[in-house]
Amino acid sequence: MSRRWIMHVDMDAFYASVEQRDFPKLQHKPVIVGGLSLRGVVATASYEARKYGVHSAMPITQARLCCPEGIFRRPRMDVYREVSAQINQIFTHYTPFVEPLSLDEAFLDISGMEKLYSRPYDIGMAIKKEILAEAGLKASVGIAPNKFLAKIASDLQKPDALLVIPYGKEKEFLRSLPIQRLWGVGQKMEEKLRHAGFSSIGDIQKLASFQALLPICGSQAEKIYALAQGIDERPVEFERKIQSVGNEETYTEDLTDPSMIDNEWRYFAHRVAKRLRQQQLTCHTVTIKVRFSDFHTITKQITVQNAVDDEDTLYLLATTLYNKIKTVRPIRLLGLTAGHFDTRVYQDSLFAQDVDKSNLIKAMDSLEEKFGEEVVKKGFLLIRENIKSTKR
Ligand code: TTP
Ligand code: MG
């Protein structure tokens, strides 16, 4: 099995860099983005402005004093959100395992990518290049065996950084860093640790076990001790983005009987609705696919404003679409796909009848889960046992 490699990407002076990109006269200038009222604070400052001591969260009045020649801009959040989405899209060119942390940073699990790139460093370089080419912005990248180290690695040599911490070098890398780099060590704990003689992470590494940290760090002691050794098992928590849920079948004997075809739509609606419920999704679009015996294929799609996940509505939408097809020819393949998802919100219906129905659906799902599809068969499932199909 290949080794785990985690990448942390963090855009450099994000808001300010977007301003410099969009307004070339701001390039290489001290740009400060933030609230411009008297009580406003600095959101971020370009690296040129940081030389004057300006930093995030500084009162804007103080920033004006530190950097009189600074160019002060209001944030354009819509633009930053758009750029953020574009960068997240770039990440998916490399791995589906992306955990965005904020608008300008994300963890990526790039394990197993050595088949495409000979070294983790090359993956980092490729992503940096693509972000620069596509979004016109610079990013700092850290690559390491875990999240904790990757995040420190992206930060240490900012801006425009690319740092890889190899396996076996974890402790050495952390040794001279100050204890406040350890996650979970806040200001108060840092003071207590310093008071007890710990100033660098190396000082904690020297301890024989986490027990010595218990009086200071309490329940956090074991975790902090592990981090100091460079151990962090947390996975990248990526969002499972499903684009569509569908069911299609190719029949060994072409379908001609309208009641059989109708029954197939019932069956597909049942299957797709079940999968939507399993994923807690509702859909806005329903697409049907019909392939005739001569391979002529028609797809039709409908979009509904209120998202759906129940088989009756899916069936109704599918058959409405199907009835629009005027061709009457033997059918080789049928398919039903749901897309454009919303996350399902369980709501008590105003109508008791609907509540009963959703309870029935839930009960059937759990029976099927427990005992298989055989145990609860609706009429249409029994009918379709006579149909031969080759593929699902
Ligand atoms: P950061 O990544 O912390 O900062 P940055 O990208 O500006 O600079 P760098 O990473 O190179 O050190 O934050 C990302 C954006 O979030 C930043 O551009 C502006 C916004 N932000 C605030 O609005 N307030 C804050 O206090 C911080 C820290 C950031
Ligand atoms: Mg940043």
Q: How far apart are CA 177 and CA 143, in angstroms?
A: 17
From the CB of 15, is ligand 1 less than 6 Å away? yes
From the CB of 139, is ligand 1 less than 6 Å away? no
From the CB of 9, is ligand 1 less than 6 Å away? no
Question: What separation in Å is there between the alpha carbon of 43 and the centre of ligand 2?
Answer: 11
Measured by CA distance, the residue closest to atom 29 of ligand 1 is 43
Report DSSP state, residue 289: E
Q: Please choose from 15, 56, 156 the residue to mutate so as to test ligand 1's pocket, defined by most ligand atoms within 8 A of CB.
A: 56
* pLDDT in the model for residue 8: 98
From the CB of 227, is ligand 1 less than 6 Å away? no
Q: CA dist 268 to 161, 275, 375, Å?
A: 51, 11, 18
Question: What separation in Å is there between the alpha carbon of 309 and the centre of ligand 2?
Answer: 40
* pLDDT in the model for residue 344: 61
Question: Beta strands of the chain (E only): which ranges?
Answer: 6-11, 31-34, 42-45, 71-73, 98-102, 105-109, 139-144, 162-164, 244-255, 281-292, 297-308, 331-343, 389-391
Residues 259/248, Cβ–Cβ less than 8 Å: no
* pLDDT in the model for residue 299: 92
**Measured from the CA of 104, which atom of ligand 1 is nearest?**
14
Q: How far apart are CA 41 and CA 43, in angstroms?
A: 6
* pLDDT in the model for residue 362: 66
Which DSSP string corresponds to 237-272?
A: -------EEEEEEEEEEEE--HHHHHHHHHHHHHHH
Provide the total of helices (H) and of strands (E) in the chain, helices listed first. Answer: 15, 13
Question: What separation in Å is there between the alpha carbon of 44 and the centre of ligand 2?
Answer: 9
* pLDDT in the model for residue 346: 46
Q: How far apart are CA 241 and CA 247, in angstroms?
A: 18
Radius of gyration of the chain (CA): 29
* pLDDT in the model for residue 328: 84
**Measured from the CA of 15, which atom of ligand 1 is nearest?**
18
From the CB of 13, is ligand 1 less than 6 Å away? yes
Catalytic amino acids? 105
- The tens place of each residue's pLDDT in the chain, 392 residues long, gives 478 999 999 999 999 999 999 999 999 999 999 999 888 999 999 999 999 999 999 999 999 999 999 999 999 999 999 999 999 989 988 988 899 999 999 999 999 886 778 899 999 999 999 999 999 999 999 999 999 999 999 999 999 999 999 999 999 999 999 999 999 999 999 999 999 999 999 999 999 999 999 999 999 999 999 999 999 999 998 876 667 889 888 898 999 999 999 999 999 999 999 988 877 788 999 999 999 999 898 999 999 888 899 999 999 999 999 999 988 899 999 999 999 887 665 443 344 444 456 666 766 676 666 666 656 666 667 667 666 665 44
From the CB of 170, is ligand 1 less than 6 Å away? no
Ligand closest to CA 34: 1
Would you call 125 exposed, middle or buried from its count of C-beta atoms within 10 A (0-12, 13-18, 19+)? middle
**Helix, coil or strand: residue 328:** coil
Strand order in the sheet with 162-164: 98-102, 105-109, 6-11, 139-144, 162-164
Q: Using alpha carbons, select from 74, 39, 76 the residue that is nearest to residue 58.
A: 39
Residues 23/128, Cβ–Cβ less than 8 Å: no
Q: Please choose from 14, 21, 55, 73 the residue to mutate so as to test ligand 1's pocket, defined by most ligand atoms within 8 A of CB.
A: 14
Question: What separation in Å is there between the alpha carbon of 41 and the centre of ligand 2?
Answer: 17
Measured by CA distance, the residue closest to atom 20 of ligand 1 is 43
Measured by CA distance, the residue closest to atom 5 of ligand 1 is 13
Question: What separation in Å is there between the alpha carbon of 324 and the centre of ligand 1?
Answer: 54
Residues 75/43, Cβ–Cβ less than 8 Å: yes
From the CB of 44, is ligand 1 less than 6 Å away? yes
Q: CA dist 178 to 125, 166, 175, Å?
A: 28, 20, 8
Ligand closest to CA 156: 1
From the CB of 159, is ligand 1 less than 6 Å away? yes
Instruction: For the full predicted model, state whether its pTM sits above 0.85.
Output: no
Residues 6+ apart with CB under 8 A from 216: 189, 192, 193, 196
> Amino acid identity of 169?
K
> Roughly how many angstroms between the first and final C-alpha of the chain, as a whole number?
32
